[in-house]
Structure 1
């Protein structure tokens, strides 16, 4: 039998390990009313990028919060309310949408993160209304885009300029988050019917719907699992060996009242990065106005090491 003191010490260490996960927070100096939606982290440079819903621009800073500045100015290159972003190589892929439904358009920008120069611009109009939410890029330079207002997934095959319908089925209705497996054979969609697994080449849906895995906003592929943000927190969804079925899920972070509408995140190395207090509940997207300016907080970047 262990001595009581040793047993107490081990118990205390175990509880400390469970209740104090490895995380860091950084207070940011961006405008309090930025209302950031998309985030992308460039592990090589140690910088992260945020797209602004309210200010129609993209900002960037180092992950320690230093050197915060605009990456593109408001409405530059006809950028609109900022949505999903991702980085592949030296290219930032950034989606934006007009928030009013009438005469709605979307703009996708490809930007060089080293030079800040525009690589390509895609102006998209999909009547009567589209809500191009998030995107993922394959090794074949295919850009896959979700539309959370429809049953459609779109694709652009670079360097072509044509936007084509990749999928159009109720099986992937109102998809939001999107991810690609590391071997680039499967596409994962966070739909109203749960996480759907799609064979990238044949477009065949490989799993059955399960609404227990619905309500996911952002989603990323990580070591044969998926990580996603839902209203309650950040969860990890484990896959079978073939990557075709969800076998279980585990809470990584459970949100309390200090978390204010986290939406999207990115993964760099073994860590998750997201804005802890987006403050969507204090933003009227119909009028592009802050509801109560006195309640605005300085933005906080949270970094969390994945187990």
Structure 2
């Protein structure tokens, strides 16, 4: 009887694994030393934008697959590009910062570009006596932009049509804040942390911070965090193996009901970072190769011969349920 039980359990587990959505390659970029972190999408012309940490630039991939520099290296004093988003008015918002080995300048920026003219229309620059890292951002339906600051463990906000960067939560309030999205009703921001909060819920009106409740799951360290209906999709690269996770929330948006893998231990993964919802798919950077430049490399590629083409993968959203 025990043997039969274990056999049935194994077969059920194998069937579950076989039924899981498997990421597939969407497109590749031959510029191996991009070391990309952020990706954005313009639904109007179906172009993708990929930001480069190493080359301090933004690449555009058009609907017909043409690849070119949208913003060339160092243009407009842009630094290492991280999270990016396209807003409803056709502007590309790009978080960027001086490199980790640059302990003198310590500049954090958000550059805003008009997608039609490729011109920078705004730049929000932060330089003070603290260390900052503008990492990712979320744009609400009314046009407010919330920015995670990983090094200062906090959030900033740029109100619609404002020329000012405002402190939204206090420094230290959101430990290593990174990926960010919002609840379906946009009453709460959902922010990935590496502290005891896990995924933090930040009330947009009161600024009160509470954890996204769950009974059994460890939910932290998501580089990218996205909402699709009542599901959160998280790109997890803090712990190994790296994975793309699906978090099903309860109807009140206050509790995680279930966590599953959409992709795990894929042979193509090499520090997956962020993604974007586009035309029924979740696209994400599968192999940023970020370990090639972090640590003691002083911003240089550690082993150029081991670099590979950049792979953007996708998961069909109607199969996420």
TM-score higher than 0.5 here?
yes
Structure 2: give runs of 5+ residues left out of the alignment.
1-10
The reply to whether residue 205 of structure 1 matches residue 209 of structure 2 is: yes
Indicate the residue corresponding to 2:288 in structure 1: 278
Structure 1 length normalisation: TM-score? Answer: 0.88
Q: CA deviation at 1:142?
A: 1.5
Q: In 2, Cα distance between the equivalents of 1:63 and 1:262?
A: 23
Distance 1:264 1:243, change over 3 A: same
Q: CA deviation at 1:18?
A: 2.6
Q: CA deviation at 1:17?
A: 9.1
Q: CA deviation at 1:43?
A: 2.7
Deviations 1:29-75 (A, max 9, x none): 441101001001223322110110001100010356x2100001111
Aligned length: 294
Of 259, 263, 273, which aligns to 1:249?
259
Indicate the residue corresponding to 1:6 in structure 2: none
Indicate the residue corresponding to 2:245 in structure 1: 235
The reply to whether residue 305 of structure 1 matches residue 309 of structure 2 is: no
Q: In 2, Cα distance between the equivalents of 1:290 and 1:151?
A: 28
The reply to whether residue 42 of structure 1 matches residue 46 of structure 2 is: no
Report matched runs for 1:15-34 at 5 Å: 18=18, 21=21, 23-34=23-34
Q: In 2, Cα distance between the equivalents of 1:265 and 1:108?
A: 18
The reply to whether residue 196 of structure 1 matches residue 179 of structure 2 is: no
Structure 1: give runs of 5+ residues left out of the alignment.
1-10
Distance 1:53 1:160, change over 3 A: same
Report matched runs for 1:71-82 at 5 Å: 71-82=70-81
The answer to whether the 8 Å contact 2:199/2:212 transfers is: no
Q: In 1, Cα distance between the equivalents of 2:15 and 2:42?
A: 34
Q: In 2, Cα distance between the equivalents of 1:283 and 1:179?
A: 28
Q: In 2, Cα distance between the equivalents of 1:207 and 1:189?
A: 9
The answer to whether the 8 Å contact 1:284/1:291 transfers is: no
Q: CA deviation at 1:125?
A: 1.1
Indicate the residue corresponding to 1:3 in structure 2: none
Report matched runs for 1:282-297 at 5 Å: 282-284=292-294, 287-297=298-308
The answer to whether the 8 Å contact 2:213/2:256 transfers is: no
Deviations 1:197-216 (A, max 9, x none): 12211112243677811111
Deviations 1:10-33 (A, max 9, x none): x9xx95993674643144344110
Q: CA deviation at 1:245?
A: 1.9
Indicate the residue corresponding to 1:112 in structure 2: 114
Q: Secondary structure at the match of 1:217?
A: strand
Indicate the residue corresponding to 2:69 in structure 1: 70
Moved more, 233-242 or 164-173: 164-173
Q: In 2, Cα distance between the equivalents of 1:62 and 1:30?
A: 15
The answer to whether the 8 Å contact 2:275/2:283 transfers is: yes
Moved more, 205-214 or 289-298: 205-214
The answer to whether the 8 Å contact 1:196/1:205 transfers is: yes
The reply to whether residue 61 of structure 1 matches residue 61 of structure 2 is: yes
Of 168, 177, 180, which aligns to 1:178?
180
Of 261, 267, 271, which aligns to 2:271?
261
Indicate the residue corresponding to 1:8 in structure 2: none
